[in-house]
Amino acid sequence: MIGNKDDAKDSEAEYDEALDDVLTTLRREYEDELPTRFAELKEYVQKAKDGGEKQLEWLAQAHTIAHRLAGTAGSYGLAELSNAAGVFDAYCKHLLKNKAHSEESRDAAPSVTPLDWQEIEAMTNAIFESHPEKRYSPPS
């Protein structure tokens, strides 16, 4: 009976180890994809900052990327990245909601202010810097 218990424990330990291996592999794959996501985020922020008719569309795209990072990175064990992306997510959500509300109520839609852009750029950099093992150097 004792032998059976030990066998069960061994098998559980092996199983946990196997699951750990799978999760580690998934995390590595996720980390490999991060530079692409960071580059996309930077591109959409820059496009939005450049202005034009699609400014809000670009900002919404940047928001989507940050929202996904906020929700996903933490599940892969990257809490700092998840938190940094969460700050960007919340800021953009609020900004886009206000813009949509202004347009619906036919008020003069307030433009994204220089202060907003400063905040957004700082938050974008915080995202890039939150993953020191694979620190991303955004293209200048």
Partner 1 sequence: MEINKVLMVDDDQSIRRICQVSLANVGKWQVILAESGYDGLELARKEKPDVILLDVMMPGMDGPTTLLKLREDDELKHIPVILMTAKVQPQEVEQYTRLGATGVISKPFDPLTLPSEIRKLLCA
User: Per CB under 8 A, does 8 bind partner 1?
Assistant: no
User: Per CB under 8 A, does 47 bind partner 1?
Assistant: no
Q: According to CB under 8 A, which residues from 12 to 31 bind partner 1? A: 19, 22-23, 26, 29-30
User: Per CB under 8 A, does 73 bind partner 1?
Assistant: yes
User: Per CB under 8 A, does 68 bind partner 1?
Assistant: yes
User: Per CB under 8 A, does 89 bind partner 1?
Assistant: yes
CA 54 from chain centre, in angstroms, equals 22
Of 82, 123, 131, 136, which one interacts with partner 1 (CB under 8 A)? 82
Q: Is the dihedral of CA 90, 108, 117, 68 positive or negative?
A: positive
CB 105 within 8 A of CB 79: no
Of 35, 64, 119, 121, which one interacts with partner 1 (CB under 8 A)? 64
Q: Spell out the residues 6+ positions from residue 68 whose beta carbon is closer than 8 angstroms to its own.
A: 37
User: Per CB under 8 A, does 124 bind partner 1?
Assistant: no
User: Per CB under 8 A, does 11 bind partner 1?
Assistant: no
Q: For residue 19, what are the CA distances in angstroms to 9, 11, 13, 52, 58?
A: 15, 12, 10, 49, 39
Rounded to a whole number of angstroms, the minimum distance from the CB of residue 17 to partner 1 is: 12
Q: For residue 110, what are the CA distances in angstroms to 14, 23, 121?
A: 59, 45, 19
CA 75 from chain centre, in angstroms, equals 12
Footprint of partner 1 (CB under 8 A): 19, 22-23, 26, 29-30, 33, 64, 67-68, 70-76, 79, 82, 86, 89-90
